[in-house]
Chain A
């Protein structure tokens, strides 16, 4: 297991405060957060490439905070691949084994292993500048894996790729995850990427760890407005919990409407309803089927390609994500009266510290 304890880093204006993160053996942890949130700094701190102002990095219980990067057995793959431009792909892949003076036979065995895992045998004698984005990223991953690290760090490995390269590299990442069971920390600003790949997700923002949990937890049960917004929850309401008893259902009042919720959270002042959990109809909805049924005027229609976002003013405004087929069936127009409904289980309450 890798444990980061009270990690503090200060670089220029950037300030990371008391970050605590645990990554279990064989786990694929995705660290997600907006650009400039400090994700790369955390990776470089784990690798020993960034000076710490405080805290510890523990690798399998051993404090490695004072160890130089070459003694940690932690590999890093950067967003822009960082292949050595003066070496061929094969020389790049074997770099780590050569500097460690590993026997030639072992070098050949490892080369064959990573090359077949990433399907890059045709690239071995190519020079990095002649490769496509996806090919470069796969070569950089092969180089990182060739030294058999205890921990693999991936810094936005898909961000600089075109959609085809992205799909290809993502598939390879899933392959690596399944076959090697290697402890991995992958950072990204893309929440969908985090959901698709992560065993667990750690949300970083404003120089601190905001929430760590399974994709399901982060997606459905954010514990702050920051995480809810980052998880594209869209419908975040400010209000008060009217009846709240631990373990029982409760009600949440916001802007003149009251939502029924399953969870009872004391002093909850925020409610989140994911837009894909809400149904919309031009005909009245049956009240018995869902605990929360409202009506209002359609105040916005936003085309997202495969899906559309409809906004209905209850008031307050609530966004509903529907498929294009549903849209054709519904045929909504601005100003039209619409009925919306969602179950109490779709309402997630939490307390946002507003101090």
Chain B
């Protein structure tokens, strides 16, 4: 029989190895899944993980990596702070939607005014929108001890309904021939989150994602708040004795992740998506949870994990058109990745030992 023995300290080597092994096992597991669906497993895995980077049309797909990766990284960086301290914001999807509504709302309310101040104001409103939406679970948690997991998640469905209401009502394009959806911000120069350098797909959101990674790193490594977050995660009791205020931590972690999710939504609506519409949100807020874990809750890890997850999104789209793979297959694959990662994580904290057979009477 096998026996688990707790390591005195988590193994650093396995900390790095587990995510890599998880990706490899997911490729195998995903291959089996696709084979069961009647697709060629090697073809499918190659299309998803290799083609977007190195195929004939890679020049088109590579910039897409940044477009899809930026919101994932932005959201996951925020989530990772809370996850470290055991504060579970899983309603990032809702904060993303509200950020987009507030950001777009700021622009649409002054349309067609032309000013350089519009875009910065939109960024501010996007962040405030996401922040405010995240403050609902945060304040309920600190004031009444309400479970933040359930409240933040419920608010996703509320936000989705609000999004539907906005795209059918208040924000509907008056010149849209009755179609649902707002004016397209890509055609409103002052509000457009355009590429900073042509052909690179680097828009303001990508820049913010990079800044957030560096900010989070400094925060965790150098700032007292980061220390409190890490301390609470590793030993809540020690944190209590050290005088960490848990309420402050809840407000900070939820607020920070909400603001980043709101920013991600705002950059998306002003750039790649262009308009508020019923199907504006595509699940970045949920996928970011996987990104945060795959990146080991480490800012630079999250950056790599975000790009990898963006890769599977793009690869999934290619596989959908070339192999007829259902679009939801990628979601299942991403879920599978998290399973393997969580399973392999055991090796970071435990040693596997061969145990002698127990005495039986």
Tell me, yes or no, whether A binds B. Answer: no
B residues with a Cβ closer than 8 A to A are none
